[in-house]
Amino acid sequence: MRQAITAVALMIGLFAGSAMAQTGAKRGPAPEPVQVMVLGTYHFGNPGLDINNMKADSVLTPQRQRELERVADALAKFRPTHVMVEMQSREPDLAIGEYRRFDAKMLASDANEIVQIGYRTAQRAGLAAVQGIDEQPGDGEPDYFPYDKLEATAGRLGKTPLLQALNADTAAWLKDFEAAQKTSSVGQLLLRMNDPGGLQGGMDYYYSALAIGDRDDQAGADLNAMWYLRNAKIFSKLMLIAKPGAKQPARVLVVYGGGHLFWLKHFARHTPGYVDVDVMPYLKRAR
């Protein structure tokens, strides 16, 4: 009986394999995938909006401007067909109107990394538009980073020392990064920021926070889920604009805060029709 079942299963498997092969033959070659290169950045303009913040020195000095020119030249060698940045847009094509006004005066006065790297590189690549793909909660929508709830739960459960230790590790990394500005170029700093073995390349903070919670109040899990959701929505906006199989294969440069690096690279690596391109070889040209 067992032999008969095995034989039937084998026949079904062979038939299914044959059908899949025939279907694949009819479909032809797979569409050209979208190449996505994610550049994690630090915030040049010191907005101070994160839980742990560092103080960036001015990128508007002549020396830093020369370094940023090298960064843009290096990134432009990727030949991006799209540059997408951490800004929201209500336009159908997610274009940012500000980019149309981009000029030397803006470079000399606006320290934001969107301008200094995103717009500068897009201009190098000859792009008519830059897309804003950021996602923020609207009225009545949930917080994508419910840190207050995490902090409250940690206090209630006696796990504040764990949260403090996680923040201390992050603060120490940022302090070292801040000190490195004295001897490093912008290109070298970005290499540090995008190192897959560094702080931004992993999820130690978030996954360690999973321990903050109990049976009914899993605040650490909620924080992870909402952070994942924000990044998933960001990447889904990228997918609205850059699609596999286009006549001109899409090559997307994503310029985003370093905290998003892990998940945006994850989606580029695992979403069908998209491939992750390592930014590190390009940054090494800008040192």
Pair 193, 40: CB distance under 8 Å = yes
In this prediction, residue 8 carries a pLDDT of 45
Taking only the tens place, the pLDDT of each residue in 123-148 is 999 999 999 999 999 888 889 999 99
- Report how far residue 241's alpha carbon sits from residue 171's, in angstroms, rounded to the nearest whole number: 36
In this prediction, residue 226 carries a pLDDT of 97
Alpha carbon 257 to chain centroid distance?
Answer: 7
In this prediction, residue 27 carries a pLDDT of 67
Regions of the chain short of the pLDDT cut 70: 1-28, 47-53
- Report how far residue 204's alpha carbon sits from residue 167's, in angstroms, rounded to the nearest whole number: 11
Strand, helix or coil at 42? coil
In this prediction, residue 46 carries a pLDDT of 72
In this prediction, residue 25 carries a pLDDT of 52
In this prediction, residue 33 carries a pLDDT of 97
- Report how far residue 166's alpha carbon sits from residue 210's, in angstroms, rounded to the nearest whole number: 12
| Angle of CA points 160, 164, 165, to nearest 5° | 120
Domain ranges for the chain, please list them: 1-30, 34-284
For the chain, count helices (H), then strands (E). Answer: 12, 5
In this prediction, residue 53 carries a pLDDT of 64
pTM for the whole structure? 0.88
Pair 239, 271: CB distance under 8 Å = yes
Query: What tokens appear for 254 in the block?
Result: 């994503």
| Angle of CA points 160, 162, 165, to nearest 5° | 110
- Report how far residue 99's alpha carbon sits from residue 114's, in angstroms, rounded to the nearest whole number: 10
In this prediction, residue 216 carries a pLDDT of 96
What is the total residue count of the chain? Answer: 287
Helix (H) / strand (E) element for 162: namely helix 160-180
